[in-house]
Amino acid sequence: MAVEGKVRVLVVDDSPLVRQLIVDALRADPEIEVVGTADNGLQAIERASALKPHVITMDVDMPVMDGLTATERIMAEDPRPILVLTGDPRAQAPEMTHRALAVGALALRVKPANEEMGALAREVKLLATIRVIRHVRGVKKVVSGSHSALPEVPQPFGASTIGVICIASSTGGPQVVQKLLSQLPADFPVPIAIVQHINAAFSDSLLGWLAESSKLKVKVAKDGDLLHAGGVLIAPPDLHLVITGRGRVSLMSGGPRDGHLPSGSALLESAAKVYGRRAVGVILTGMGTDGVEGLAAIRAAGGKTIVQNQESSVVFGMPGAAVAKGIVDHQVHADDLGDFFLRLARGQDLAKS
């Protein structure tokens, strides 16, 4: 989504000092216009409706109405890209991260120090380009058409021909990953490895959310961990996760690849090398092209390649780049991924999509 003219930003924070620091930093960028401020969530809702900003920076702890309640209201009534800013997340309630993501916040960031304000402006400009969707919590989606419901009666798994499922995910992805993992049974016979781009300060909270909502054993990968059925390994922040020839994983230091550390492509390429046609590569919503080279490697090795479809992607950058490259076997709606993985693991027929 292109933005005409300057990026219009609403800054929400109850601290006058912090609010002014953020305003000054954003106004220092000639491509940004701060169109208003608010010091509580209720004001944020009112001013978002009146000012129509391209992006909102949202504090969490505020009087009258907290930032997450305001985010939920805005995303349900008049959705805008929202960047949640908070202090040290370790001092927050552990459910803060997953609640922020669940109600529709696009990104989370620790309130920056003075020397990091330039990075804040860059992230705001990136978020302004994202198409947001309405989030109405508590409203059950009617499943119809291509959105198939999960089977009501559990079916046993036979020996699966799939060796590993590797997922690359970025902006908008945590919600998709959480829903997917919550739909898979404890005896799911294929190991899963995931690279999810998220601010490192929030990785522990994200892991807790995924683990508590899934019957699978979800953990942050450690060097030498074994890939096993019913297990999910998530790349730690600032280290690449790769699969070795022994069916184990290794953690590797190094610079970013395609702008990301950990890299989805590094994971998917290693899966192609070790598992060949038994590898499944998946790219979910996200900006940029991370994962595309890895997905191409899996396709070349004879494995299966899957992306989240455009309709359900917050950002179709990563999946769209793979589609444009002509390396995608299946485009799947986020709501259908759990059912798709179950059919895949059982060796059932997968309609070409």
Q: Are the C-beta atoms of residues 261 and 325 closer than 8 Å to each other?
A: no
Round to whole Å and give the CA distance between 104 and 91: 22
DSSP track, 232-281 = EEEPPTTSEEEE-TTSBEEEE----BTTBSS-HHHHHHHHHHHHGGGEEE
Query: b or e along 116-132 (b: 16 or more beta carbons within 10 Å of the residue's beta carbon)?
Result: ebeebbebbbbbbbbeb
Q: Are the C-beta atoms of residues 246 and 275 closer than 8 Å to each other?
A: no
Round to whole Å and give the CA distance between 178 and 327: 26
Q: What does R_g of the chain's alpha carbons equal in angstroms?
A: 20
One of 14, 54, 59, 170 is an active-site residue; which one? 170
Token representation of residue 253: 């230091």
One of 54, 98, 197, 260 is an active-site residue; which one? 197
With tokens 């300057």, the residue in question is 6
Amino acid letter, residue 89: P
349 carries an active-site annotation:
no
Contacts of 175 (CB under 8 A, 6+ apart): 101, 102
Would strands 32-38 and 7-12 be described as parallel, antiparallel, or unpaired? parallel
339 carries an active-site annotation:
no
One of 290, 335, 336, 339 is an active-site residue; which one? 290
With tokens 């450690």, the residue in question is 222
197 carries an active-site annotation:
yes
Q: Single out the residue of 6, 288, 233 nearest to residue 128, CA to CA.
A: 6
Please give the positions annotated as active site: 170, 197, 290
